[in-house]
Amino acid sequence: MAHLESRKHISPDSGFPITLHPRFNPKITGHAPPDPLREEIVPEKDRALFADPEKKALFSVAKRVDLTESVGTVLENVQLSQLTPQQLDELALLVTERGVVFFRDQDLDTDGQVKLFEHYGVLDKHPAQKDVRHVVIRGSREDHREILKYTPWPSGDFHADTSFEINPPSYSLLRMEEHPEVGGDTAWVSTYGLYDALSDAMKRFVDGLHAIHTSRLQYDTILDLWGVGPNRPPIDSHHPAVRTHPVTGLKALHVNPGFVTGFAELKKVESDKLLDFFAYHIHSADDHAVRWKWAVGSVAMWDNRCTNHRVIPGSYEAPRRGIRTTVFGEKPYFDPASEGRLEREQRLKADKLAVSSAAETEVAKEEAVKLAADSTLTPA
């Protein structure tokens, strides 16, 4: 990464690069994005809402293997290219529930991937994306901890795809075309689980906050590190720190270290401390995380509304190249009447126990009445 502007300015005292603010970089100050900022859209009804809740059509052709309790499922013995519209809807529902669904040895090509994903909505376009249909995803062989001295965006950290947009993506699909034998894994963490793992007091506090999602740090880094021009000007969006998922109705923590820089309702130091906590909270959530080992032909489909993800950097030499397609989602919102995933599970369990208890009571009453009737009919 010697082409980073900051690394070209060396201190005569330490022998290390002098850290310069990216705005000193003429590539950044001189860039004029060709496209305007986006305006809010209202996407079509989520395809998962058309699905059979039991997913009978999908599971009739695919074997389900859950990788962890909280997040991540592999579907075996199935080709995405062969799924019917009904099965694709049921796949979307499974993704909203499990966060990310994986496939191996797929026969999709780029045209087939684009056609398949158009079933889920209007294709999104990343700010650095040149092809309107897809973006190329490569690996990370840099020490992301070290380059943070010279470029402001934490590119190696957890994020939801372009969460700063007015309409952040709902579903994303990544298909791997080239990959090293070892290295280049991707990790996902469930934001349903992240919300559940908070204390009740913290949940009540965060429920009322708005997280500041910004593209400014990525905007500067794209120009300096990637050497390409972002299509759109930088944007700051205030999204609910806890969002309600439109399909599952569940609460999910809508905070990620990649794009969130603070909280609208808090003062600077308060925001910084809360961000530090959430960085710890996300990285320590092994019980709500899954790590996927890629191979050529592997596919992952995930829901950005209930997961964060990151590529795991490494020192591998072989190329890593994947094709990613995404679709627009709804503007994030928070419904105070929604519930957490764990809260729902506990409520349903309590309801089931109450129904069972009521049924047992009714049976006991019937037996008591029968016994009383029998005793009256028996001669003394």
Residue 1 has pLDDT above 60, yes or no: no
pLDDT tens digits, one per residue of 291-343: 999 999 999 999 999 999 999 989 999 999 999 999 999 999 999 999 999 99
Would the CA dihedral through 231, 219, 163, 147 be positive or negative? positive
Q: Strand 210-214 and strand 186-190: pairing?
A: unpaired
Contact 37, 232 (CB under 8 A): yes
* Residue found under tokens 């034998």: 181
Judge if pTM exceeds 0.85: yes
What span, in angstroms and rounded, lies between the C-alpha atoms of 14 and 99? 47
What span, in angstroms and rounded, lies between the C-alpha atoms of 27 and 6? 12
Q: How confident is the model at residue 376 (pLDDT cuts 50, 70, 90)?
A: low
Look up residue 282 and give its two tokens. Answer: 């996300």
List the one residue out of 252, 256, 259 whose CA is nearest residue 203. 252
What span, in angstroms and rounded, lies between the C-alpha atoms of 226 and 238? 27
Q: How confident is the model at residue 139 (pLDDT cuts 50, 70, 90)?
A: confident
What b/e sequence results for 254-284 when a residue is b if at least 16 CB atoms lie within 10 Å of its CB, and e otherwise?
bbbbbbbbbbeebeeeebeebbeebbebbee
Name the more confident of 313 and 240.
Answer: 240
What span, in angstroms and rounded, lies between the C-alpha atoms of 84 and 48? 14
Look up residue 350 and give its two tokens. Answer: 């309590």
pLDDT tens digits, one per residue of 205-238: 999 999 999 999 999 988 888 877 899 999 999 9
Contact 211, 240 (CB under 8 A): yes
Q: How confident is the model at residue 374 (pLDDT cuts 50, 70, 90)?
A: confident
Residue 346 phi, psi dihedral angles, 5° rounding? -70, -40
pLDDT tens digits, one per residue of 243-272: 999 999 999 999 999 999 999 999 999 999
What span, in angstroms and rounded, lies between the C-alpha atoms of 199 and 283? 17
Residue 20 has pLDDT above 80, yes or no: no
